[in-house]
């Protein structure tokens, strides 16, 4: 069994087996001769098949302990597999006893013959046979337990390692690889594909070894008992082994399609607010369904091949039987070589072997599916990253001066090799200096920062931090990144507490260090105002913090790091004036003794730099101080001139917390593991779901299910018919007339051929129809589940249990596992129960008393299945919760991989991921024991039932109550008694299916408070766009202790512009979310044209609103498709797209790209600069042609030049529309019809710019001095 572990050892065993095959042992076993050679040939052939089919991928992660478990489990499976052929030795002797007894009974009735009545001898022999059966049954109980228990435990340990290795290798991949790989697809593979590998290497291997051993031993028994007859049967057997490779190939294609669908789901669920704002739910469901249709196509094709393969296999088997019985009867009657018992041993040996080969087909299907999944998983595990962030190689310098030098650097992003980002760039950034980068969006500024962090390596030239001339490619990456602090414009926070988010900057940071960093970043005050202070949970991606709060936490994270090099990419862009001034001062202090690079659009953040470098088209075109560059009147001069035309910075509140609610604080945290674990413990109870409801979702496929069930029923009935046919064989040898014997033999042979033809068609009907119905159900459930998720209110997504990672994991596993209660499983169950039913009918017909005794054992089998189902359902629920936790961690880490890499926390996320794998592992160990006991009991009860039936048969014979049909009753038990045990083997799949179905239906049944799919609600044609907030009070559902709006009242007439001004967290963005009806106010109303938004149709309302937010969300598709997203109508022409792009000052940039409007923007727009993303978002809003336009810091990411042109476009777009603006630049809001100054959830001042300046209140102080609003 060492061959299972890897290819070299597997091939060694096969080679040794081949040498054993060639060894001449005729002198040692002269009586066996040719039989031994043929037996050895069969064993070696199937060893080769077994090792070739499973080979390396499945077991490469096995340790010596797992190898020992698999060896012991395999040894038990082999002994278990040999039990049934061993039983046939007893059965053959018993058949001879039956025939002799039958002939004696006929002779006793002949008055012309004298013979002795041997009934007592016959009864004693039956008792002996019963003892053999009982002994075999007890052995099977133990062997069945150990084979399942050890294989499931070994699989659980290996799956844990595979998940760890897969996630660990993903986390060490270079950023360029992520640019070309969908994060959602990776998350789907972690859950769905690894589960398929688990199914292929756990109990299915043990069962396959058992079936294969029964097959080999059955044929071995045939060769030893009668090699001539067995050779006739086996002559056509090679025709059976065709078709498995095609199944594996189709499975791989099916899994790739499902992975793409998972990527779509992950992207959409991560951007749910954008999807909701633009009414993209229907479009996204269709996009998701396109990938499901593709997967369904390959799944159905796989079902067709499986159906044809199975039907063809059984057809060949029955032809073998017809030929073998015809030839075997000649050997018994004419050549007198075999006894009838020997003939039946050969028949049943080959029959049982062939039956087990057929029953191994689900195992082969699981192996093929697992192999297809393993190919994808292990390709990723084996891939060597271009830049290995976890490599221990490279220098770690004792002293860092921080001088950075670029030498003729040219760079293209790996995902866009035809677009040159940096063009022969050379520059020096001196030690301890602050260098500011300025230039238009897309000039390559942020790319330089990524090269310094070594996210990429330059295409040409050498980029180095000059530390005694060391190229950064020669430095240790983890050490290099530990010397760098980064603050980005769109800061990423992790789903843990504020304190832990800051501690991500430095693992050994004390609470004092964290508080000091928070004070330096001007974050301390707002943190202390929160109920749980530093233990406040920030939510997924920091969603429960406002933009300014997120930015300050990110700055604190960089400062606590105490880095030698500081990279500030729009670090203060999300801060209001007061905060910016203080944080800028803190950053200036942080610059002391450090090399600092700053990218900024604000003059105040740039002019104090020691050196300013102007960029244009990937080149540094000018360099100098503020005064020097103004004198040159180049790129910098133009930017400053444009910005300084009367502009002032207003207090800018970053996008008010999209849902600022602080959830349960965590006292300690590693990655996101503990909070994930808590959320799993808080999981609400899932109510059991009736099986009828699962079938209801498959109702439209009822013709396929009916036809498939009919095929399965006929297939099930054919198995007891074997018993009937073999009973006829027994009967023919009791016939004394030779001519009548020949007629009977020919009749039975024809019946075998007929059964073979029937079996071909019924097996195909069963395989194809259930494959199609199962695939259609899986697609339907995934689509309905995804549709239900998109139909939930935004508040539902705020719950940590409903993070994108957890929801994607549910979609990937739940829908596919529901097939465990439907699809091919129904066919197998119908097959098994029909088998049992027909067998019982036949048995009752010939001996009802004996049959009644046998039926007493059926409740024990049912009980075994019930206990197994109950226990495994609990384990399935535990597995789901634990795997959702790991799904959340992987989703969070991979979605924010740049931030994770930048702060060097790959290992932290790996540790959190691996910690959450303990729960499913422990559950699997418990499951192994319960499943093993139930499996062993279900398998052994058949042998024990046979034992009792033979003993009771002897009792009936003694009292002359046993008819000639007793042999047929026992034959029926031999061939069909395993059917209930086989049915109980589907219990694990059924248990998982019930749990998954209950979870899906709970989601589908949930009625959202704000339903986007509802057709109800008011609609009107003459939509004008007047807006009025009437005393609105609002608290986020998951943070009920903090009221965000405390009585907001303001009105805007159609066509007017309302500008909200105020500090971070005052409720500006919350009011916008109420207008979009992401939430409803607790008290008060929001009126549109006098209609209460609670009574307005949600889709209608959102169709009239266009949104541009500060952090625009783009989808992983082309620029054209992203712009079209604003319209969501099928008649959006390319002309309209181009027109919108021109209005957003985007067209010229797009036309400069090689693929123009078909250029893919990458995951979350990663292939574009922030300014480019923002302009696409603006074009998306313009193409919508909305009546109400919401601009939440719409131009904040643009450089000065771009802002001027886009602002002009927005001013034009506002004409004739009601507009609500949240902004910090005076040029953006000074022309607003109404400026509303907000503080602590209420409006404290309102009026035009001139009116508010005349009042000399909060707004006046804000504009003139930057004083905070209070």
Look up residue 14 and give its two tokens.
């096969």
Residues 1125-1154 have pLDDT tens digits of 888 666 778 888 888 888 877 888 888 888
Q: Give percent of the chain with pLDDT exceeding 70.
A: 77
With respect to CATH, is domain 436-454+483-644 assigned 2.60.40.3620? no
- In DSSP terms, 566 is beta-bridged to 485, 596
| Mean pLDDT across 490-517 | 86
Residues 1221-1241 have pLDDT tens digits of 887 666 677 778 888 888 878
pLDDT of the residue at 684? 46
Q: Which of 628, 618, 213 is nearest to 427 (CA)?
A: 618
pLDDT of the residue at 842? 77
Say which CATH class 1027-1265 falls into: alpha beta
Show Cβ contacts of residue 410 under 8 Å, excluding neighbours closer than 6 positions. Answer: 420, 422, 423, 424, 425, 458, 459, 460, 461
pLDDT band at 142 (very low <50, low <70, confident <90, very high): very high
3-state secondary structure of 485: strand
For 1050, the enclosing helix (H) or strand (E) is strand 1043-1052
More confident site: 407 or 985: 407
Residues 826/705, Cβ–Cβ less than 8 Å:
yes
d(CA 215, CA 45): 12
Per DSSP bridges, beta strands 619-624 and 611-616 are: antiparallel
pLDDT of the residue at 139? 92
More confident site: 794 or 354: 794
Show Cβ contacts of residue 45 under 8 Å, excluding neighbours closer than 6 positions. Answer: none
- Classify burial at 1264, counting beta carbons within 10 Å of its beta carbon; exposed 0-12, middle 13-18, buried 19 or more: exposed
Ramachandran sector of residue 598 (left: φ over 0; alpha: ψ -120 to 50; beta: rest): beta
Check pLDDT > 80 for residue 45. no
Residues 1229/667, Cβ–Cβ less than 8 Å:
no
3-state secondary structure of 360: coil
Check pLDDT > 80 for residue 913. yes
* Helix, strand, coil content of the chain in percent (nearest 5): 65, 10, 25
d(CA 331, CA 877): 59
Show Cβ contacts of residue 231 under 8 Å, excluding neighbours closer than 6 positions. Answer: 38, 223
Look up residue 226 and give its two tokens.
């009668």
pLDDT of the residue at 651? 34
pLDDT of the residue at 549? 80
Q: Give percent of the chain with pLDDT exceeding 90.
A: 0
Residues 58-86 have pLDDT tens digits of 678 888 888 888 888 888 988 898 888 88
Give the mean pLDDT of the chain.
Answer: 76
CA 1059: distance to chain centroid? 44
For residue 230, CA distances in Å to 39, 99, 731, 753, 785 come to 10, 22, 22, 18, 54
3-state secondary structure of 623: strand
For the chain, give every domain's residue range.
436-454+483-644, 1027-1265
Least confident of 233-247, 674-688, 852-866: 674-688
Range among 158-162, 277-281, 987-991 rated most confident: 158-162
Residues 1048-1075 have pLDDT tens digits of 888 888 888 888 887 767 788 888 888 8
Least confident of 731-735, 900-904, 958-962: 958-962
d(CA 1099, CA 1022): 16
For residue 1102, CA distances in Å to 791, 1068, 1106 come to 14, 19, 8
Residues 860-881 have pLDDT tens digits of 766 655 555 555 555 555 566 6
Look up residue 440 and give its two tokens.
């238009």
Q: How many CA atoms lie less than 13 Å away from 630 in the CB half-sphere?
A: 10
Look up residue 788 and give its two tokens.
């239900």
| Mean pLDDT across 279-298 | 82
Range among 541-555, 1017-1031, 1248-1262 rated most confident: 1017-1031
d(CA 875, CA 242): 37
Check pLDDT > 60 for residue 482. yes
Check pLDDT > 60 for residue 55. no
Check pLDDT > 80 for residue 785. yes
Check pLDDT > 80 for residue 38. no
- 436-454+483-644 and 1027-1265 share one fold: yes
Per DSSP bridges, beta strands 403-412 and 1091-1092 are: unpaired
Residues 656-701 have pLDDT tens digits of 333 333 332 333 333 333 333 333 333 445 566 677 777 777 778 7
Q: Which of 763, 679, 678, 686 is nearest to 717 (CA)?
A: 763
pLDDT of the residue at 989? 63
pLDDT band at 986 (very low <50, low <70, confident <90, very high): low
Ramachandran sector of residue 1033 (left: φ over 0; alpha: ψ -120 to 50; beta: rest): beta
First CA to last CA distance, the chain: 77
Show Cβ contacts of residue 1064 under 8 Å, excluding neighbours closer than 6 positions. Answer: 526, 546, 547, 548, 549, 575, 576, 579, 653, 654, 656
Check pLDDT > 60 for residue 49. no
d(CA 149, CA 937): 13
Look up residue 344 and give its two tokens.
């039946």
Q: Which of 412, 434, 422 is nearest to 613 (CA)?
A: 434
Strands in 1083-1088's sheet, in edge-to-edge order, are 1043-1052, 1027-1035, 1083-1088, 1091-1092
Q: Which of 517, 556, 565 is nearest to 397 (CA)?
A: 565
Q: How many residues does the chain have?
A: 1270
Residues 1052/1082, Cβ–Cβ less than 8 Å:
no
d(CA 364, CA 367): 5
Look up residue 389 and give its two tokens.
């962030």
pLDDT band at 1047 (very low <50, low <70, confident <90, very high): confident
d(CA 899, CA 487): 9
Q: Is the pTM of this model over 0.85?
A: no
């Amino acid at each position: 069994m060492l061959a299972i572990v890897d290819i070299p050892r597997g091939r060694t065993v096969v080679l040794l087996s081949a040498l054993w095959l060639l060894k001449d042992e005729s002198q040692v076993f002269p009586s066996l001769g040719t039989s031994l050679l043929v037996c050895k040939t069969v064993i070696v052939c199937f060893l080769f098949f077994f090792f070739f089919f499973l080979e390396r991928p499945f077991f490469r992660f096995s340790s010596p302990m797992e190898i020992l478990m698999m060896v012991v489990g395999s040894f038990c499976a082999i002994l278990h597999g040999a039990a049934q052929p061993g039983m046939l030795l007893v059965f053959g002797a018993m058949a001879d006893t039956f025939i002799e007894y039958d002939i004696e009974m006929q002779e006793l009735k002949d008055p012309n013959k004298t013979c002795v009545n041997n009934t007592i001898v016959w009864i004693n022999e039956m008792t002996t046979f019963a003892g053999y059966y009982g002994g075999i049954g007890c052995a099977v109980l133990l062997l069945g337990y150990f084979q399942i228990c050890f294989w499931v435990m070994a699989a659980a340990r290996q799956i844990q390692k595979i998940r760890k290795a897969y996630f660990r290798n993903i986390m060490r991949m270079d950023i360029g690889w992520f640019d070309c790989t969908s994060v959602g697809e990776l998350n789907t593979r972690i859950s769905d594909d690894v589960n398929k590998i688990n199914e292929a290497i756990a109990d299915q291997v043990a069962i396959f070894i058992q079936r294969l051993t029964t097959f080999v031993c059955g044929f071995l028994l045939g060769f030893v008992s009668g090699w001539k007859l067995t050779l006739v049967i086996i002559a056509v057997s090679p025709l059976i082994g065709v078709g498995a490779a095609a199944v594996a190939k189709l499975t791989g294609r099916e899994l790739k399609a499902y992975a793409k669908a998972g990527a779509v789901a992950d992207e959409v669920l991560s951007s749910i607010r954008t999807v909701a704002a633009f009414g993209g739910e229907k479009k996204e469901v269709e996009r998701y369904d396109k990938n499901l249709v593709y997967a369904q196509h390959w799944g159905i094709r796989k079902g067709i091949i499986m159906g044809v393969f199975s039907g063809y296999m059984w057809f060949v088997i029955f032809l073998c039987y017809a030929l073998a019985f015809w030839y075997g009867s000649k050997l018994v009657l004419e050549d007198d070589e075999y006894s009838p018992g020997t003939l039946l041993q050969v028949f049943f040996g080959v029959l049982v072997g062939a039956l087990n080969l057929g029953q191994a087909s689900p195992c082969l299907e699981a192996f093929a599916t697992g192999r297809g999944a393993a190919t994808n998983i292990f390709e990723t595990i084996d891939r060597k990253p271009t830049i290995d962030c976890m490599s221990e190689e490279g220098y770690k310098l004792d002293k860092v001066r921080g001088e950075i030098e670029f030498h003729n650097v040219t760079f293209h992003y790996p995902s866009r090799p035809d677009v040159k980002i940096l063009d022969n760039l050379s520059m020096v950034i001196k030690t301890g200096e602050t260098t500011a980068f300025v230039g238009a969006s897309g000039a390559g500024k942020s790319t330089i920062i990524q090269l310094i962090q070594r996210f990429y390596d330059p295409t040409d030239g050498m980029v180095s931090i000059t530390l005694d001339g060391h190229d950064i490619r020669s430095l240790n990456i983890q050490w290099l990144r530990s010397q760098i602090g980064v603050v980005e414009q769109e800061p990423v926070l992790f789903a843990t507490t504020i304190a832990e988010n800051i501690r991500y900057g430095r693992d050994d940071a004390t609470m004092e260090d964290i508080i000091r960093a928070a004070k330096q970043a001007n974050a301390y005050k707002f943190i202390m105002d929160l109920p749980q202070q530093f233990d406040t949970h920030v939510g997924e991606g920091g969603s429960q913090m406002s933009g300014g709060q997120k930015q300050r936490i990110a700055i604190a994270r960089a400062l606590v790091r105490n880095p030698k090099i500081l990279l500030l990419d729009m670090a203060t862009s999300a801060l209001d004036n007061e905060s910016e001034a203080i944080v800028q001062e803190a950053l200036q202090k942080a610059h002391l003794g450090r090399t600092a690079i700053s990218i900024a659009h604000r003059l105040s953040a740039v002019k104090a730099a020691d050196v300013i470098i102007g960029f244009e088209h990937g080149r540094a075109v000018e360099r100098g101080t503020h005064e020097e560059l103004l004198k040159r009147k180049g790129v910098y001069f133009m930017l400053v001139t444009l910005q300084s035309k009367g502009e002032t910075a207003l207090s800018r509140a970053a996008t008010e917390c999209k849902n600022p609610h602080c959830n349960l604080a965590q006292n300690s945290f590693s990655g996101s593991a503990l909070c994930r674990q808590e959320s799993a413990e808080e999981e609400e109870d899932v109510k059991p779901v009736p099986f009828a409801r699962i079938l209801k979702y498959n109702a439209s496929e009822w013709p396929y299910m009916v036809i498939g069930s009919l095929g399965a029923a006929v297939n099930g009935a054919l198995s007891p018919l074997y018993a009937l046919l073999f009973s006829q064989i027994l009967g023919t040898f009791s016939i004394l007339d030779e001519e009548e014997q020949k007629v009977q033999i020919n009749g039975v042979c024809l019946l075998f051929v007929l059964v073979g033809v029937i079996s071909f068609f019924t097996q195909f009907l069963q395989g194809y129809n259930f494959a199609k119905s199962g695939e259609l159900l899986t697609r339907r459930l995934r689509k309905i589940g995804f549709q239900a998720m998109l139909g939930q209110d935004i508040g539902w997504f705020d719950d940590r249990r409903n993070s994108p990672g957890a929801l994607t994991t549910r979609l990937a596993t739940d829908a596919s596992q529901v097939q465990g209660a439907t699809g091919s499983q129904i066919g197998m169950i119908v097959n098994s129960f029909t088998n049992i039913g027909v067998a019982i009918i036949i048995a009752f017909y010939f001996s009802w008393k004996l049959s009644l005794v046998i039926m007493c054992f059926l409740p024990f089998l049912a009980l075994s299945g019930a206990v197994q189902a109950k226990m495994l359902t609990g384990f399935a629920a535990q597995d789901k919760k634990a795997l959702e936790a790991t799904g959340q961690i992987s989703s969070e880490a991979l979605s924010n991989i740049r931030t994770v890499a930048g702060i060097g926390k790959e290992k932290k996320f790996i540790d959190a991921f691996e910690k959450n794998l303990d729960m499913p592992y422990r559950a699997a160990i418990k499951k192994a024991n319960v499943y093993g006991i139930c499996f062993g009991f279900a398998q052994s009860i058949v042998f024990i039932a046979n034992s009792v039936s033979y003993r009771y048969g002897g009792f009936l014979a003694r009292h002359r109550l046993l008819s000639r049909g007793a042999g047929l009753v026992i034959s029926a038990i031999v061939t069909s008694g395993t059917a209930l045990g086989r049915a109980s083997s589907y219990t694990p799949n059924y248990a998982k299916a019930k749990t998954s179905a209950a979870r899906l239906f709970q989601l589908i049944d949930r009625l959202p408070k704000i339903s986007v799919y509802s057709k109800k609600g008011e609609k009107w044609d003459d939509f004008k766009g007047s807006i009025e907030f009437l005393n609105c009070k609002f608290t986020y559902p998951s943070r009920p202790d903090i009221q965000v709006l405390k009585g907001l009242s303001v009105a805007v007439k159609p066509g007017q512009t309302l500008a909200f001004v105020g500090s971070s967290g005052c409720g500006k963005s919350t009011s916008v979310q109420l207008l979009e009806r992401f939430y409803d106010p607790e008290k008060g109303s929001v009126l549109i044209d006098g209609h209460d938004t609670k009574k307005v149709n949600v889709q209608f309302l959102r169709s009239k609103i266009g949104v541009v937010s500060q952090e625009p969300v783009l989808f992983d598709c082309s620029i054209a498709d992203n712009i079209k997203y604003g319209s969501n109508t099928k008649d959006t022409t390319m002309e309209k797209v181009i027109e919108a792009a021109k209005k957003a000052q985007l067209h010229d940039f797009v036309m400069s790209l090689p693929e123009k409007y078909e250029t893919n923007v990458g995951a979350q727009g990663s292939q574009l600069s922030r300014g480019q993303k923002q302009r696409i978002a603006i074009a998306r809003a313009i193409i919508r042609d909305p009546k109400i336009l919401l601009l939440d810091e719409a131009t904040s990411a643009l450089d000065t030049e771009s802002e001027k042109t886009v602002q002009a476009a927005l001013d034009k777009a506002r004409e004739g529309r009601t507009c609500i603006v949240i902004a910090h630049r005076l040029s953006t809001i000074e022309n607003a019809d109404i400026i509303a100054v907000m503080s602590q959830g209420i409006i404290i001042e309102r009026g035009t710019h001139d009116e508010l300046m005349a009042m000399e209140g909060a707004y006046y102080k804000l504009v003139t001095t930057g004083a905070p609003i209070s």
